[in-house]
Amino acid sequence: MPSSVTALGQARSSGPGTASSACCCSPAAVQRRLPILAWLPNYSLQWLKMDFIAGLSVGLTAIPQALAYAEVAGLPPQYGLYSAFVGCFVYFFLGTSRDVTLGPTAIMSLLVSFYTFHEPAYAVLLAFLSGCIQLAMGVLHLGFLLDFISCPVIKGFTSAATVTIGFGQIKNLLGLQNIPRQFFLQVYHTFLRITETRVGDAVLGLVCMLLLLVLKLMRDHMPPVHPEMPLGVRLSHGLVWSATTARNALVVSFAALVAYSFEVTGYQPFILTGRTAEGLPPVRTPPFSVTTANGTISFTEMVQDMGAGLAVVPLMGLLESVAVAKAFASQNNYRINANQELLAIGLTNVLGSFVSSYPVTGSFGRTAVNSQSGVCTPAGGLVTGVLVLLSLDYLTSLFYYIPKSALAAIIIMAVAPLFDTKIFRTLWRVKRLDLLPLCVTFLLCFWEVQYGILAGALVSLLMLLHSAARPETKVSEGPVLVLQPASGLSFPAMEALREEILSRALEVSPPRCLVLECTHVCSIDYTVVLGLGELLQDFQKQGVALVFVGLQVPVLRVLLSADLKGFQYFSTLEEAEKHLRQEPGAQPCNIREDAVPDHKVALLEA
């Protein structure tokens, strides 16, 4: 991998309080905020060639997908193209991954359709506000908040979104009209009116799906090309590779040509995309109010109407983009800066709202095309962005003839890989309890997306809190009872630990001495100190001893500062057992400094 690209992946921002924070204008700090400076000085003609090929390949994929995803978002087709080019230029300067492409995606389009009521003004304002939230998270280094949404929750959401998006395109694939968008109503009305299927749309849609599947299989099973191969073989390999990579554009062109041929004859068996607004989008501020026939909707009312979308859309956008970036960084052996990625996607959404873009994020499918095409730097995005702009300026009149069934086929084939059938079997084998947040999220997302994500995250949080409040303990029976907490010890776990100790040591006849092995305890709080003090008193009343082993320095410091009566500490389990066997009555004694390792005594005296 080129050294400058490695530098691009390794540029990382320093945390608050570091020395570099005082030098925000130093060359290193500027390079962290503008990763382009890490690779541009070493840019070569070979990189230019590879970036051009990759950018062209992604552009031929992005244009038909943008038209299709606008349909998922419930917006006119031009809004998909308006959303497909700003990220290409912003990421050129700010991106830390050479593979990622920003633009409209199936899942983000689905969320937009939920929260913007198929109104372009709401979608554009949502892009602006989402970008502001994402920028703030990047500036404040709040990317860690995404870690609280667990993998099962994300998998449950993406699987539900895949079903919702895929089934939502069945109506276009079959040529059905006036089908509600709410999922359950959509399922009911689709089956109710299945007899109204238009044969032309159904046949063309199925043919397009078959072509896309065949071209994808050809692309996945192409043998690698070697320099020693004959020129003719290499040329044919390149031709097949280009055709299979640009399969979306080829299939859409084929479908549009078929539809145009019927249009010329005066008979049209397909439902067409129809007129697309021509030309580049006007540059204007996002709509902070909307004038309707019933009056003006204020900014405050628009924000209230979007409700939970102002949290769900920016968070899911960040999750999707950072997940894509991390996946390809790991695959191609470089590193990304997560907070810089937040800034890049946030600025993309803010600037995009000035050209009528709806919220965008990192696209897994187009990023895969970019990576497989051999892209070397984010400069490949410039080619993609220019291609989208050219299509807006010169090709919009041709989009009229694209059948909706062809776009539906593209969407269905694009989202099908997002449904992870293996995750259920994997979780059943690895940890069955993790199926709970996955299933809760999956099922509730069919009702309301925000409820599904919130419920799944809440279930995951409750599972996390339960493990903290009820940590596993390892018990060793022998001449002396040894109890070892398998994880950390915090205040929610103290009551469970107390009950465990009482049931095993003091509520038996006769009462037993106990060694509390604390190797895995790295910190304790005041509640734990009080609980341990009460336990020491209970043991003294019963005439037996409770001693501690394996205390780390911070924990030992806290316990000594608490001045617990009867507190005894030993550095090894053997010393503790020997001490308890030598004292038949296990009379409590003060802590002996010779039982504390010298380096710990020095630390305590410091």
The sign of the CA dihedral 323, 328, 333, 335 is negative
pLDDT tens track for 158-184: 899 889 989 999 999 999 988 888 889
Taken in order 525, 527, 531, 537, the sign of the CA dihedral is: positive
CB 340 within 8 A of CB 32: yes
> Does position 42 have pLDDT exceeding 70, yes or no?
yes
One-letter amino acid identity for 132? Answer: C
How many residues belong to the chain? 606
**pLDDT tens, position by position, 529-562:** 999 999 999 999 999 999 999 999 999 999 999 9
What is the distance between the alpha carbons of residues 216 and 61, in angstroms, rounded to a whole number?
13
Which pair of tokens denotes residue 446?
């069919």
pLDDT tens sequence across 269-307:
999 999 999 899 999 999 999 988 888 999 999 999 999
Q: Which residue has the tokens 């602006």?
A: 128
Report, as an integer, the average pLDDT of 566-573: 90
Q: What is the pLDDT of residues 447-474, one digit of tens each?
A: 888 888 889 989 999 998 888 888 888 8
pLDDT for residue 21: 43
Q: For 226, what's the count of Cα atoms within 13 Å in the CB-facing half-sphere?
A: 3
Closest alpha carbon to 157 in 121, 211, 108: 108
Between helix 435-444 and helix 151-168 the angle, nearest 10°, is 30
| Share in percent of the chain as helix, strand, coil (round to 5) | 65, 5, 30
Among the listed residues 467, 481, 557, 491, the one whose alpha carbon sits nearest the alpha carbon of residue 516: 481
Q: What is the CATH number that goes with domain 473-581?
A: 3.30.750.24
User: In the 8-state DSSP scheme, what is residue 69?
Assistant: H
Q: Is 335's pLDDT higher than 50?
A: yes
Angle at 163 between CA 349 and CA 324, to 5 degrees: 40
| Of 458, 460, 457, the residue nearest 433 (C-alpha) | 460
List, in sequence order, every residue forming a beta bridge with 515; answer none if it has no partner: 482, 547
Does position 12 have pLDDT exceeding 60, yes or no? no
- Give the CA angle between residues 21, 23, 26 to the nearest 5°: 125
Predicted local confidence at residue 603, as pLDDT? 37
CA distance 195 to 76: 28
Query: Which whole number is the average pLDDT over 125-150?
Result: 90
pLDDT at 587 over 50: no
Is the bond preceding 152 in cis, omega lying within 30 degrees of 0?
A: no
Dump the DSSP string for 202-260.
Answer: HHHHHHHHHHHHHHHHHHHTPPPP-TTS-HHHHHHHHHHHHHHHTHHHHHHHHHHHHHH
Residue pair 358/123 in contact (Cβ under 8 Å)? The answer is: yes
Q: pTM for this one? A: 0.78
Rg (CA), the chain: 31
Measured CA to CA, the distance from residue 547 to residue 512 in angstroms comes to: 12
Q: Is the dihedral of CA 391, 397, 400, 403 positive or negative?
A: negative
Neighbouring-strand partners of residue 476:
482
Q: Give the tens place of pLDDT for each residue, 433-449.
A: 999 999 999 999 998 88
CA distance 567 to 147: 39
Instruction: Answer for the pair 519, 553: CB distance below 8 angstroms, yes or no.
Output: no
More confident residue, 243 or 200: 200
- Do strands 481-485 and 514-517 pair parallel, antiparallel, or not at all (unpaired)? parallel
The C-alpha atoms of residue 33 and residue 8 are separated, in whole angstroms, by 11
Rama region for 279: left / alpha / beta (φ>0; ψ in -120 to 50; rest): left
Strands 569-570, 546-549: pairing is parallel
Asked if 68 and 411 count as a contact pair (C-beta separation under 8 A), the reply is yes
The three-state secondary structure class of 268 is coil
Q: What pLDDT is attached to residue 235?
A: 87
CA-CA distances (angstroms) from residue 356 to 80, 82, 86, 291, 312? 10, 6, 10, 17, 20
DSSP letter, residue 590: P
Give the pairing of strands 546-549 and 290-292: unpaired
The per-residue pLDDT for 124 is: 97
Task: Retrieve residue 67's tokens.
Answer: 């038209």
On whether the CB atoms of residues 125 and 286 are closer than 8 A, the answer is yes
Give 72-114 pLDDT, tens digit per residue: 999 999 999 999 999 999 999 999 999 999 999 999 999 999 9
What is the rounded distance in angstroms from the CA atom of residue 298 to the CA atom of residue 126?
14
Greater pLDDT, 95 or 488? 95
CA of residue 513 relative to chain centroid, distance: 50
How far apart, in whole angstroms, are the C-alpha atoms of residue 302 and residue 315?
A: 19
Integer angstrom CA distances of residue 343 from 84, 100, 377, 420: 18, 14, 18, 29
